[in-house]
Structure 1
């Protein structure tokens, strides 16, 4: 019994430590440069859904799952029905419960794009 409890605790600790891992790869590496050219009309414009999806894959997928289904963290498939864009941005900046803060790990623009993308999940 104690051995099983220890294994479960160890597995949970390892899983939670992966949630806030820093990635050295910038968020736009999954989109070829040619795809970004002409996509937006001004600086900061463009295919924010593609960027937000890449940001999610690099920072959130380990806890919230490939299809936003949840795992270590809760499902995000309908997070926009529960929280507004501003509330999601606040959670991303400050963390909540076991979720780490991404302030300083993601730029304000990345947090805004990710919050907008998640707020559309209703």
Structure 2
């Protein structure tokens, strides 16, 4: 008795399509659960990112030192006596020279304002 050679391929195709549909519905269900559970975490993360010390430690400490004393970049301990808040904000946004990169695209404007206010108090 001869078997049809196309039948195993058709069976594999049907099983594959069925599996894809089932996995898609499982993924959609998980997406809804992630959206529902993610809202609270996002608010906490947003609040944490406006903390100037946290912003500094994540973005600036590698060059300016964890204690503002400077490493690759200059010390920021007395930055507020050299520059105004607006000048500091401009330096953070646009960079300065070739060593200080611009953070305008990396940090949000609220983060830059918070960081520049905090640094302007260092006198």
- Which TM-score bucket, shorter chain as reference? 0.5 to 0.7
Q: Which has the larger radius of gyration?
A: 2
**Segments of 4+ moved more than 4 angstroms:** none
1 CA distance for matches of 2:66 and 2:57? Answer: 8
- Aligned partner of 2:73 in structure 1 is 73
Give the number of the structure whose residues are more often helix, by fraction.
2
Query: By how many angstroms is 1:119 displaced?
Result: 0.1
TM-score, length-scaled by structure 2: 0.59
- Per-residue CA deviation, residues 6-65 of structure 1 (Å, 9 max, x unaligned), is xxxxxxxxxxxxxxxxxxxxxxx9xxx5xx9xxxxxxx9x899x7000000000000000
TM-score, length-scaled by structure 1: 0.60
- Aligned partner of 2:36 in structure 1 is none
Structure 1: 5+ residue runs without aligned partners?
1-28, 37-43
Structure 2: 5+ residue runs without aligned partners?
1-40
Residue 106 of structure 1 aligns to a residue whose secondary structure is coil
1 CA distance for matches of 2:81 and 2:104? Answer: 24
Which structure ranks higher in relative contact order (CA pairs < 8 Å, sequence separation ≥ 6)? 1
